[in-house]
Amino acid sequence: MKTRVAYYSHSGNNRTLATKLAAKLGAELEEIRPACGAFFFQLLFTAFGHGPGVYGKDGAGDGTESLVLVAPVWMGSVAWPARAYLRSRARRARLVHVVCCCGSNDAGKDEQFGYETAFSKFRTILGTRAGTLSAMPSVLVLPADKRSGEDAAMSARLSESSFTGEVADRLADIVARIQA
């Protein structure tokens, strides 16, 4: 099955994760480039669920049977550029897996800004095209005693050397779920 990994990343975490995922899945890697890149506007579009699209030809991923969309969670939603990508370039992708490197952790996943809150919105958007939805909490790169608090969540950064221990286990689990 032809797989494409498309990612949007503002501060690098989801780029690092997407690059690793694409290598593990033997998939094409594509960066999602929003037509309006201003961060403030991206947040507004995310909150309202409407906004301009992304660069690139619509339907370019039409031959893609399985799309893995990698993007951050913002304000309890998946960042706008990922949604814009689905409406244009990936409008006919048959199966869409979502993977988010995010600030929320497993304990807070069902809270207002937790990743499950974002995933439930994405399940509604995707309908029958929804595949697996997986989270990589960014705090997993930190020692267990330094993971609490908003500062830890917002400043934790994934790098090539992060993929050991719990982060590596989580990645293996995400890959297995996508390939199942």
Ligand X SMILES: Cc1cc2nc3c(=O)[nH]c(=O)nc-3n(C[C@H](O)[C@H](O)[C@H](O)COP(=O)(O)O)c2cc1C
Query: Where on the chain is the footprint of ligand X (CB under 6 A)?
Result: 9-14, 43, 72-76, 101-104, 113, 115, 138, 154
Q: CA 32, 33, 36 angle in degrees (round to 5)?
A: 140
Question: What is the identity of the amino acid at 36?
Answer: C
Neighbours of 112 (CB within 10 A): 9
| CB of residue 41 to ligand X, shortest distance in Å | 12
Nearer to ligand X, 58 or 121 (CB): 121
Tokens of 25: 């899945």
| CB of residue 102 to ligand X, shortest distance in Å | 3
| CB of residue 119 to ligand X, shortest distance in Å | 11
Residues across the chain: 180
Neighbours of 89 (CB within 10 A): 25
Nearer to ligand X, 2 or 123 (CB): 123
Nearer to ligand X, 145 or 150 (CB): 150
Nearer to ligand X, 115 or 163 (CB): 115
Looking at residue 139, what DSSP letter applies? G
Compute the distance between CA of residue 74 and CA of residue 44 in angstroms, rounded to an integer. Answer: 10
| CB of residue 53 to ligand X, shortest distance in Å | 19
| CB of residue 79 to ligand X, shortest distance in Å | 7
Nearer to ligand X, 90 or 118 (CB): 118
Report helix, strand or coil for 133: strand
Q: CA 109, 175, 171 angle in degrees (round to 5)?
A: 60
